[in-house]
């Protein structure tokens, strides 16, 4: 069964790659670089999902004080951070292609750096506390605060300031930014694929983390 799911996901993502680089047409103006939208946006979306997951499990940690919930909270935060890094890197390459500069300290770029710092500090906090029960509670409080700030940094700040970053797909104009039907198809196919991939990777990572912690002497 796990092999089936893994294979199916592999095929789905292969389909996403084909869609992004062959099936979807290049966009007016942006040309071939527009294909990055099929990777950059789903990756950023996955990061948001992961941070929300971390938020939910951190609340559970505070309520139930169970290490099992903390495993999920930490794994989700870690995945969120990695996907956020990926979104930043794909964004930087796209910036080089469209604005001829990898980094310009644009408001969108500033807010993503702040978000990265916020979640990197989560791991700093965890390693600074040695007592396991204190660690999971402190980390949970921090993750909850981080997740409250996150939507503000990801969704609000870029809409408050004039920015080079293209208008977000959800915006005031009321019309879809993806005007071509093939682009719409590939985009949603990719979004779904990355979402499924997230759940599968999360599940795997939680199981690995549980084994790692058992080895380290945690009671899980």
Partner 1 sequence: MKLKYVVGFAVIAACVVVGVYMLKTSMTPYLPFKEAMAANGREVQIIGSIVKGKIGVDAKTGLRRFMLKDQAGTELEVETRENLPSNFEHAKSVVAVGSYKNGVFVASKILAKCPSKYEKKADGASPESRSAQ
- The residues binding partner 1 (CB under 8 A) are 22-23, 25-31, 34, 37, 59, 62-63, 98-101, 104-107, 110-111, 144-145, 148-149, 152, 157, 160-167, 177-180, 182-183
Supply 39's token pair. Answer: 């990777």
SS3 76: helix
Neighbours of 197 (CB within 10 A): 17
Supply 86's token pair. Answer: 């990926």
For residue 185, the minimal CB distance to partner 1 (Å) is 13
For residue 138, the minimal CB distance to partner 1 (Å) is 14
For residue 7, the minimal CB distance to partner 1 (Å) is 26
Comparing CB distances to partner 1, the nearer of 15 and 203 is 15
Q: How far apart are CA 6 and CA 199, in angstroms?
A: 12
Supply 29's token pair. Answer: 């103006």
Comparing CB distances to partner 1, the nearer of 68 and 180 is 180
Q: 142 Cβ partners below 8 Å, 6+ apart? A: 121, 122, 125
Comparing CB distances to partner 1, the nearer of 27 and 220 is 27
For residue 195, the minimal CB distance to partner 1 (Å) is 21
Comparing CB distances to partner 1, the nearer of 8 and 169 is 169
Q: How far apart are CA 198 and CA 18, in angstroms?
A: 20
For residue 94, the minimal CB distance to partner 1 (Å) is 11
- Give the Å distances, CA to CA, from 119 to 81, 191, 206: 6, 23, 18
Supply 124's token pair. Answer: 């700093």
Comparing CB distances to partner 1, the nearer of 79 and 153 is 153
The owner of tokens 């292609």 is: 97
């Amino acid at each position: 069964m796990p092999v089936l799911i893994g294979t199916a996901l592999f095929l789905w993502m292969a389909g996403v790659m084909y869609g992004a680089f062959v099936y979807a047409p290049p966009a007016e103006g942006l040309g071939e670089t527009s294909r990055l939208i099929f990777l950059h946006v789903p990756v950023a979306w996955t990061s948001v999902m992961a941070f929300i997951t971390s938020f939910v499990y951190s609340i559970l940690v505070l309520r139930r004080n169970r290490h099992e919930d903390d495993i999920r909270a930490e794994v989700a935060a870690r995945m969120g951070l990695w996907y956020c890094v990926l979104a930043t890197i794909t964004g930087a390459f796209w910036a080089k292609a469209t604005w001829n500069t990898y980094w310009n300290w644009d408001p969108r770029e500033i807010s993503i750096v702040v978000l990265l710092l916020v979640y990197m500090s989560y791991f700093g906090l965890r390693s600074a506390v040695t007592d396991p029960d204190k660690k999971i509670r402190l980390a949970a409080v921090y993750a909850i605060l981080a997740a409250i700030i996150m939507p503000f940094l990801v969704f609000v700040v870029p809409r408050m300031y004039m920015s080079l970053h293209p208008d977000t797909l959800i915006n005031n104009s009321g019309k879809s930014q993806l005007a071509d039907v093939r682009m719409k198809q590939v985009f949603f196919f990719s979004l779904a694929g990355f979402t499924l991939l997230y759940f599968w990777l999360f599940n795997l990572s939680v199981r690995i983390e549980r084994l790692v912690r058992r080895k380290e002497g945690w009671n899980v």
